[in-house]
C-alpha cells in the first residue's frame, strides 16, 4: 500500500487531493499549519468533508517545526501543496511570512526528504504567477520568469530551490504551475468565491481594474488529476503548466456566474492592484504529451459546482 504525505491537506486544493488519494487506496499523512490567511473554520470544514478514514492520519503543525522522522519514514510520495497564497497581500511586512511559508518551509521539507531514499516522487505546487503578465499566444514552460508580486517572487525562488536539490542530490521533484484554480472550497479571498458571495447576498461585485483582464481558469479536479499523473509519470526536474485550456475575461466569467445564480450583477470597478497580471493563458501541450493531462471540466460546469457548494455554505 502506497503512503503519501500531503502538506496543506486542509486547504482548497490539498483537501480535494487528499480525498482523491484516499479513494485511490493511498494511506495519507496529512499536514496543515492553519496559516491565518483566512478563517480556520473553513479549513476545518474541508477536513470534515474528507471525513474520518482509517487511512488518514492528520497532524495540525507548521512545516517549519516538522517532525520529519515521524512524517517521512514510511512515506513513498510527497505532495507539497502548503503555501501562503495571494498576490495582493504579499507586499510590505507580510513578505517575511511569505518567505517563511513558501521558501523556508519548502527548503526544510526538501532537506528532510534527502534522508529518506524510500521517497519515489515529490510533487510540488507552483503558480502561473512566476510568469507575470503573459504575451500574445499561449505561454509554455520555457517562457521567462518575470513575477509581478512578492508572492510570485517566492514561488519563482522556490522553483530554483527545487532545481538545486534535483541537481545536487537527485531528489525526484516534479513542479506543477497552477493557473487560477477554482471550484468548491475555493479560498474566500479568490475572485470567484468573492463574486458568488456578493451575488448571493445581492451586493455589488468588486472588480479590480476594468474587468477585461483574462485568466486561464482550472477546475480543482483537473488540478488534482495533474498531481496523480505527475506522481506516476513525472521525472526529476520536470515542470508542467496546469491550465484549463480556455482564456476568459473577468467580465465574461461574471456574466456566466450571474446567469447561474439568477441575479443581475451590479459591478463596482476599483483601481488595479499592484502585482495583478493582465493576462494568463497556459500552453498545456507539454503536460498533455508527457503526463496525459487533459482538463475535463468546462468553465460552465465548474462554476455550477462551485455555486452549489457556496449555496450550501451560505445555508450552513
DSSP 56-114: EEEEE--GGG--HHHHHTT-SEEEE------SGGGSGGGHHHHHIIIIIHHHHHHHHHT
Neighbour-count burial of 241, counting CB atoms closer than 10 A to its CB (0-12 exposed, 13-18 middle, 19+ buried): buried
User: What nine digits make up the cell of 287?
Assistant: 503536460
The Cβ of residue 312 has, within 10 Å, a number of other Cβ atoms equal to: 10
Q: Would you list the DSSP string of 228-250? A: HHHHHH--TT-EEEE--S-EEEH
Q: How far apart are the first and last CA of the chain?
A: 37
Strands (E), the chain: 3-7, 27-32, 56-60, 77-80, 121-127, 173-178, 181-182, 205-208, 214-216, 218-219, 239-242, 247-249, 267-270
Rounding to the nearest 10 degrees, give the CA dihedral for residues 108, 113, 115, 120. Answer: 180
Any catalytic annotation for residue 151? yes
Residue from 26, 98, 131, 151 carrying the catalytic annotation: 151
Rounded CA-CA distance 48/313 in Å is 13
Can you tell me the distance from the alpha carbon of 142 to that of 146, in angstroms, rounded to the nearest whole number? Answer: 12
Q: What is the largest CA-CA distance in the chain?
A: 57
Active site residues: 151
Amino acid at each position: 500500500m502506497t503512503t503519501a504525505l500531503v502538506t496543506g491537506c486542509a486547504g482548497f486544493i490539498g483537501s480535494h487531493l487528499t480525498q482523491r488519494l484516499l479513494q485511490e487506496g493511498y494511506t495519507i499523512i496529512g499536514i496543515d499549519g492553519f496559516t491565518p490567511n483566512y478563517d480556520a473554520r473553513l479549513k476545518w470544514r474541508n477536513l470534515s468533508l474528507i471525513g474520518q478514514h482509517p487511512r488518514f492520519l492528520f497532524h495540525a503543525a507548521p512545516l517549519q517545526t516538522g517532525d520529519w522522522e515521524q512524517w517521512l519514514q514510511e512515506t513513498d510520495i510527497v505532495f507539497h501543496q502548503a503555501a501562503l497564497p495571494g498576490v495582493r497581500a504579499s507586499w510590505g511586512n507580510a513578505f517575511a511570512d511569505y518567505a517563511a511559508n513558501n521558501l523556508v518551509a519548502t527548503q526544510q521539507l526538501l532537506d528532510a526528504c534527502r534522508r529518506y531514499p524510500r521517497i519515489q516522487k515529490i510533487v510540488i505546487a507552483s503558480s502561473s504567477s512566476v510568469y507575470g503578465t503573459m504575451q500574445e499566444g499561449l505561454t509554455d514552460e520555457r517562457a521567462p520568469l518575470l513575477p509581478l508580486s512578492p508572492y510570485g517572487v517566492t514561488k519563482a525562488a522556490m522553483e530554483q530551490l527545487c532545481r538545486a536539490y534535483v541537481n545536487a542530490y537527485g531528489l525526484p521533484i516534479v513542479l506543477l504551475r497552477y493557473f487560477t484554480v477554482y471550484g468548491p472550497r475555493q479560498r474566500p479571498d479568490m475572485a470567484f468565491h468573492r463574486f458568488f458571495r456578493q451575488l448571493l447576498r445581492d451586493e455589488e461585485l468588486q472588480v479590480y481594474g476594468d474587468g477585461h483582464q483574462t485568466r486561464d481558469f482550472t477546475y480543482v479536479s483537473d488540478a488534482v488529476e495533474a498531481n496523480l499523473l505527475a506522481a506516476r509519470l513525472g521525472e526529476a526536474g520536470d515542470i508542467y503548466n496546469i491550465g484549463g485550456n480556455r482564456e476568459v475575461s473577468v467580465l465574461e466569467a461574471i456574466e456566466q456566474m450571474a446567469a447561474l445564480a439568477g441575479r443581475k450583477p451590479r459591478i463596482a470597478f476599483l483601481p488595479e492592484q499592484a502585482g495583478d497580471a493582465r493576462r494568463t493563458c497556459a500552453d498545456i501541450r507539454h503536460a498533455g504529451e508527457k503526463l496525459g493531462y487533459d482538463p475535463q471540466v468546462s468553465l460552465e460546469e465548474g462554476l455550477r459546482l462551485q455555486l452549489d457548494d457556496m449555496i450550501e455554505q451560505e445555508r450552513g
